[in-house]
Amino acid sequence: MSFQDLPEDWEYEWLLDPTITADVVDLFARESDRRANTLLLLLTDRCGRLVQPVAISDMRWGCSEEERERAFDWLRHFSTGAEEDEAIEGAVIAFCHRQPRIRNSDLRWAETAQRRLDAMFIELLGCYVAHSAGVRRIDLDEENVA
């Protein structure tokens, strides 16, 4: 599937359905983002609806745990401690790169994201890899690496 398969009213949908969420990631992860090693965060409200997409390019996927943690620390300013109408309560994360597979570094980033978001009381609604051939969901409970 791709962003062309999204229902007309997708922006009112919760980002809980992995198929719809993968299509939304496909919509926001531009081809240039996939070439630029971009960390894509789709921030949601308490209902799981998209509030704000954030794209950070030129990521170093092979960095240390400490560097991965810092990539998420800015979110604490928008978690449940923020004003209620500004609070981010969920996030979908995508690692955009050229390789059409889930790599070990993607799994390390997903695990770090899970820990950091849990500490900020932000629900991780899903992790994905967006590459030139499409979008794949990372399931931290299964073997993902191709």
As a whole number, the mean pLDDT across the chain is 86
> 113 or 10: which carries more pLDDT confidence?
113
Taking CB atoms within 8 Å and a gap of at least 24, the contacts of 23-29 are 23/135, 24/50, 24/92, 25/92, 25/94, 25/128, 25/130, 25/135, 26/1, 26/2, 26/130, 26/134, 26/135, 27/3, 28/53, 28/55, 28/94, 29/94, 29/96, 29/130, 29/135
pLDDT of res. 77:
85
- pLDDT for 14-57, tens place per residue? 677 787 889 889 989 999 999 999 999 999 988 888 889 999 99
This prediction has a pTM of 0.86
**Percentage of the chain with pLDDT > 70?**
82
